Structure 1
């Protein structure tokens, strides 16, 4: 199984730049990250330090988020946020540059919460514009933009696979074909989506899969979700990409489920 460790939610007992090496020491060859900087355009020194942490650890960066704002404070993306749209656009070349240098192909663009001062229709139109720009920004390096339904964020409007696919359809209609669904089985199940039906209907549109168990967002086997069955079903429908490990478990037991 081609797993990739999300080093923004796992191994958090360590400083961020030490986590790729810790993932490699645990036996993994691939890692992914949320946006690891405070700003859309970090300094050259910050970018170099991040890239060096990846390459010196001997791991492959398989996924990177565009800047999604202050996630601990509740932000969930800049894509549809009018007041911060320029920050998202300023971020595009930075993300594409990191992707080009590290060979990363998957780029998650969190849609953003509903905001006061703009109508949902205005935000949705802006989101399509920005997703088209993001798709074009990474197309030259063979990149794919990912759109993710998210749970636990009341103001985030993309909660189901169908809602995400509706947006993806609009982006593709604008000529940007390199956009796909990020199927996080935890978020989909917690939001009440019928995951087997999602796999059946949209498996061909999966750009990436992430997993955590529910309830609790812990490691596989800690909850009730048939994650193995869902992964196998996705594979049978042609998904050949990585499985992102995006769950919350202390480092000392984070990967013991693999042994079992």
Structure 2
């Protein structure tokens, strides 16, 4: 299996954003793809009204695409937040309220990968307290995900754009994954390997691939600098994807990059 055998899913929270949310699944289909993923689409509401959920479900179904990945509520993303589950108070409460909403929605569409952004460090709060809260909430989410046959994803972000996010390496994220699996006994927590974030951090990506491919549940890509279309920056994404397939990864690759001047319709020519 090689690069040309990979299957892709288009992240409509960063691509096709020139269109209203409900028009993006059809645009993905018109571009020749059958899979979509997204961040939590309503930063203003952890528990949106039923009408918004039903409208998005219809848009995905009518476009004939499959929802392959969905984030849990993460605060203002894009924006200053990087997740809610480790942030004491209202943020973590909203995350908990959101878990059943996400699993019900994902389950109704056959989505089997749910991403749980960890959240930033907060001034005046003991990091150990945040980590304890995070583990409790991640275990809660993992159990809910297990109920629909889904995996719970944990990812590392880059320290340049997310300096207050505590997971800045593959090993840090995988350590959290292992802690969640140990606590629940379910084994459905997995690592989300975002090659863009690892590349920006200067990590030894081939070594991370070799070490963590077995626990990787999803992969996302963008080029650097600029989080752009593959081939517009300096990251050897093709080589890394080849190495992933050689290491046994046979899951989807999320296209989570900015489309650039070509616009979303021209963002796939590199393939």
Smaller-chain TM-score bracket: over 0.9
Once the two structures are superposed, what CA deviation does each residue of 1:75-130 show, in whole Å capped at 9, x if it has no partner?
01011111121111111110110111000001110000001232100000111111
For 1:238, the equivalent position in structure 2 comes to: 248
The more displaced of 83-92 and 22-31 is 83-92
Structure 2 CA distance for aligned equivalents of residues 145 and 100 of structure 1 = 13
Task: Determine if contact 1:132/1:176 at 8 Å carries over to the other structure.
Answer: no
Moved more, 28-37 or 167-176: 167-176
Q: Where does residue 4 of structure 1 map in the other structure?
A: 9
Matched, 1:130 2:137: yes
Q: Does 1:140 align with 2:167?
A: no
Please say if 1:183 is aligned against 2:189.
no
Partner of 1:52: 58
Distance (whole Å) between structure 2 residues aligned to residue 214 and residue 51 of structure 1: 33
Q: Which residue of 2 aligns with 1:163?
A: 172
Partner Cα separation in structure 2 for residue 176 and residue 148 of structure 1 = 19
What is the total number of aligned residue pairs between the two structures? 258
Question: Following TM superposition, by how much is the alpha carbon of 1:140 offset from its aligned partner in structure 2, in angstroms?
Answer: 1.6
The question of whether the paired residues in 2 share the 8 Å contact of 1:146 and 1:180 is answered with yes
Moved over 3 A (4+): none
Contact 2:31–2:265 under 8 Å retained in 1: no
Alignment of 1:70-85 (within 5 A): 70-83=76-89, 84-85=91-92
Segments of structure 1 that go 5 or more residues without pairing to the other structure are none
Q: Cα offset for 1:153?
A: 0.9
Report the equivalent of 1:109.
Answer: 116
Counterparts of 2:200 and 2:138, CA distance in 1: 26
- Say which SS state the counterpart of residue 91 (structure 1) adopts: helix
Distance 2:30 2:219 in 1: 23
User: What is the alpha-carbon distance in structure 1 between the residues aligned to residue 77 and residue 8 of structure 2?
Assistant: 24
Do the aligned residues in 1 keep the contact of 2:121 with 2:166 (CA within 8 Å)?
Answer: yes
Give the gaps of 5 or more residues in structure 2: 1-5
Q: Give secondary structure in 2 for the equivalent of 1:182.
A: strand
Verify the 8 A CA contact 2:178 2:189 in the aligned structure 1. Answer: no
Asked if structure 1 preserves the Cα contact closer than 8 Å seen for 2:71 and 2:116, the reply is yes
Deviations 1:196-218 (A, max 9, x none): 01001101011100001112211
CA distance in structure 1 between the partners assigned to 2:215 and 2:267 by the alignment: 29
Q: TM-score, normalised by structure 2?
A: 0.93
